[in-house]
Amino acid sequence: MSQEIIDTVAQYLTPSIPIKLISQGAEAVVFSTAVHPYCPMRETASGNEPTQYIIKYRSPKKYRHPIIDKQLTKHRTLSESRLLAKLFLIEHLNVPKLIATDVYNGYIWLEFLGEDLPNNCGYSNLKNFLWMYANDPYNEQVKNTLFEVGKQIGLLHWNDYCHGDLTTSNIVLAKDDNGIDWVPYLIDFGLGSQSNMVEDKGVDLYVLERAIISTHSSFSGKYNQWLIDGFSSIYKAQGKTGAKKLEEVLKRFADVRMRGRKRTMVG
Amino acid sequence: MQLPQFPGTNIEILLYENVSNVDAIRSRVVELPYAFIDASAICSVEQIMSAIYRVMIEANYNRLRTKTLHSEILLALSPTSNIGEAFKRFGLKENTKNLFMIQITQDKTSNVDKTLVKGDIIEFKDESIERMSDIETIKKIYKIDQSLHLKNNTQLSRAVVDAIQLRGL
Ligand SMILES: Nc1ncnc2c1ncn2[C@@H]1O[C@H](COP(=O)(O)OP(=O)(O)OP(=O)(O)O)[C@@H](O)[C@H]1O
């Protein structure tokens, strides 16, 4: 990736905020840092591991007109930040905490979620977590975790929000307060939106199903079932309306899958 | 103190308890080079600090909507862009007992007049602030639904920070 972008970020943040590059997507560059943007007293507080923060930067795109580019950056930075604020207000839904946003320059600061998995299994997103259990794929912890992930998606959809890019990398697991169980968080709402359209929900479910099939194919049948069980449990807790809406979403999910299959057969 | 991103700007924050001369300060608030904030409308360190951060972002990359960085802090604390409302909610009131006195300057050395406010200076930390906050008022100001699940101060503070970061955008 271009040194130019890193230099821009480093200059914006000044040398007092050292950064580590952790991801470069099509849309944004993501860094981590141990420096809080405005609570300096945080850093020395408790714990042995320093607290980490995420900086998500949307860089100017040279192929866009500069004025349009500025507007787009502002719009997308704001839209993701707003969504995180709204989603936090949904009880039991887990999303990263918004720390700061600078829409003029395209920066979002978030709390850092997750940790390194044991035995060099990588960062604790759902994808790496499932890999870690490849030798013990139907372990109770796998089942419970996938059920909980399904519940998170159910909560999101039941409240009429869609993720827009629901891959196994965009689901992050963090240890809960007791330090034993994994709690799933949904991250990266860059393509998220408020939506009551069954189509959007069906597509979310399909994207995740595909992600599970492509990386964990031998166990994907059970895995996807556990996800849908968790998803359904949220709707079923909402009585008749819930049951009816669940049926609509699952039906559309099946339609989307069917369309996907046709496309692969033709194409 | 300084914010890491804005090393040339010095920020002084004093938290006072049992203030006895609020009237005198109120009558001179416009001419004094400080922001005065009623502590009952504040629930955490991060509420104050995230508002100051927002002020610095606006000052450096956009524009100020009020006359000074100090009045801008009150606007930044507010969930709406109505300046009069912001002053009413976060400024000193007749019955204010506890307050924040904040100074933002471009010099490295602080020159805060500690004799101005007659009261006890206490440490700027969450435990002190929580003692002074009026949770119901804060929820009302930020239109945080009473039925909402925000169980503790950490969660309330998070919703408040969200509002501060997103106001008027
Ligand atoms: N809150 C967070 N805590 C920990 N890691 C995070 C957090 N947010 C993002 N990351 C890391 O950064 C990566 C990219 O973040 P994100 O998906 O938000 O950016 P993106 O540019 O939209 O990515 P992509 O285009 O690859 O989907 C994530 O996959 C994750 O590894």
Q: Taking all residues of chain A, what is their mean pLDDT, rounded to a whole number?
A: 93
Report if residue B2 sits inside a domain: no
Report if residue B31 sits inside a domain: yes
pLDDT of the residue at A50? 74
Task: Measure the CA–CA gap between B46 and B146, rounded to whole angstroms.
Answer: 22
CA nearest neighbour of A171 among A182, A161, A180: A182
pTM of the model: 0.95
Q: List, for residues A23-51, the tens digit of each pLDDT value.
A: 998 889 999 999 999 997 665 445 556 79
Q: List, for residues B18-76, the tens digit of each pLDDT value.
A: 999 999 999 999 999 999 999 999 999 999 999 999 999 999 999 999 999 999 999 99
- ipTM (interface pTM): 0.95
pLDDT of the residue at A1? 59
CA nearest neighbour of A55 among A115, A112, A104: A112
Report if residue B92 sits inside a domain: yes
Report if residue B84 sits inside a domain: yes
pLDDT of the residue at A176? 87
Give the DSSP letter of residue A123: B
> With DSSP H G I counted as helix, E B as strand and the rest as coil, what are the percentages for chain A, rounded to 5?
50, 15, 35
Q: Residue type at A174?
A: A
State which residues form the domain around B92. 10-166
**Two tokens, residue B78:** 């507010």
Q: Please state the domain count of chain B.
A: 1
What are the two backbone dihedrals, phi and then psi, of residue A30, each rounded to the nearest 5 degrees? Answer: -120, 130
The angle at the Cα of A201, spanning A198 to A203, to the nearest 5 degrees, equals 110
pLDDT of the residue at A174? 96
Q: Which of A41, A99, A104 sits opposite B61 (nearest CB)?
A: A104
Q: Which residue of B has its CA nearest to A40?
A: B3
Report if residue B5 sits inside a domain: no
A165 is catalytic: yes
Min distance B138 CA to chain A CA atoms (Å): 16
- Whether the CB of A102 is below 8 Å from some CB of chain B: the reply is yes
CATH superfamily of A3-111: Phosphorylase Kinase; domain 1 (3.30.200.20)
Report if residue B4 sits inside a domain: no
From residue A201, alpha-carbon distances to A26, A185, A208, A254 in Å are 23, 18, 11, 11
Q: List, for residues B71-122, the tens digit of each pLDDT value.
A: 999 999 999 999 999 999 999 999 999 999 999 998 877 789 999 999 999 9
Partner-chain contact B158 A99, CB within 8 Å? no
Q: Which of B5, B62, B165 sits opposite A81 (nearest CB)?
A: B165
Q: How many angstroms is it from A35 CA to the middle of ligand 1?
A: 18
Report if residue B24 sits inside a domain: yes
Q: List, for residues A198-244, the tens digit of each pLDDT value.
A: 999 999 999 999 999 998 888 999 999 999 999 999 999 999 999 99
pLDDT of the residue at A47? 54
Q: How many angstroms is it from A263 CA to the middle of ligand 1?
A: 29
pLDDT of the residue at B161? 98
Domain regions of chain A by residue span? 3-111, 118-266
Give the DSSP letter of residue A35: -
Report if residue B152 sits inside a domain: yes
pLDDT of residue A267 exceeding 60: no
Q: How many angstroms is it from A170 CA to the middle of ligand 1?
A: 7
Q: List, for residues A107-157, the tens digit of each pLDDT value.
A: 999 999 999 999 999 999 999 999 999 999 999 999 999 999 999 999 999
Span A118-266: which CATH code?
A: 1.10.510.10
The CATH number of whichever domain residue B37 belongs to comes to 3.30.2380.10
Under 8 Å CB pairs connecting chains A and B tally to 69
Q: How many CB atoms lie within 10 A of CB A41?
A: 13
- Whether the CB of A10 is below 8 Å from some CB of chain B: the reply is no
Would the CB of A26 count as within 6 Å of ligand 1? yes
